[in-house]
């Protein structure tokens, strides 16, 4: 077993921990990620077992339809506003955390770039990453 992944919001009101390794790590340049992050992309680690991730504290949630049409449920801290995690209507067993919310953000190892079709010229991403115009097939 590897070391657990832990993290939370900036003020500590929300914390999470999982013993599972991420199954997908990506930068995403979709419009939703751009608007929510205030930058050109979002960075995420997706874990396979939402039911086995321990989350303490009460998050505020809002839902948005992704470019794919699937609904994403965003969770953020109501105290400090930090986006912490998100879940997906089409795959409720998965949970993704924001790379910047990790206690050890250097553990984030992006594998791909998604929604490169929405790329902004002022936000270049590592050109060695495999880029998908949209979300890659499951």
What residue ranges do the domains of the chain occupy? 5-131
Residues of the chain with confidence (pLDDT) below 70: 1-2, 67, 138
pLDDT (0 to 100) of residue 78: 97
Tell me the whole-structure pTM to 2 decimals.
0.91
**Nearest CA among 81, 109, 114, 85 for reference residue 97:** 85
pLDDT (0 to 100) of residue 24: 95
Q: Tokens 């998050």 — which residue? A: 59
CATH number of this structure's domain 5-131: 3.90.1590.10
């Amino acid at each position: 077993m590897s070391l657990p992944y832990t993290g939370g919001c900036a003020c500590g009101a929300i914390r999470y921990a999982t013993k599972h390794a991420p199954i997908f790590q990506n930068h995403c340049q979709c419009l939703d990620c751009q608007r929510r992050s205030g930058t050109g992309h979002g960075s995420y680690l997706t874990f396979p077992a939402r039911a086995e991730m321990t989350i303490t504290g009460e998050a505020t949630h809002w839902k948005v339809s992704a470019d794919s049409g699937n609904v994403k449920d965003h969770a953020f801290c109501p105290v400090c506003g930090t986006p912490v995690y998100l879940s997906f209507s089409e795959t409720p067993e998965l949970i993704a955390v924001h790379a910047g919310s990790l206690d050890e953000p250097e553990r984030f190892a992006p594998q791909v770039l998604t929604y490169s079709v929405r790329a902004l010229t002022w936000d270049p991403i590592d050109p060695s990453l495999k880029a998908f115009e949209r979300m890659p097939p499951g």
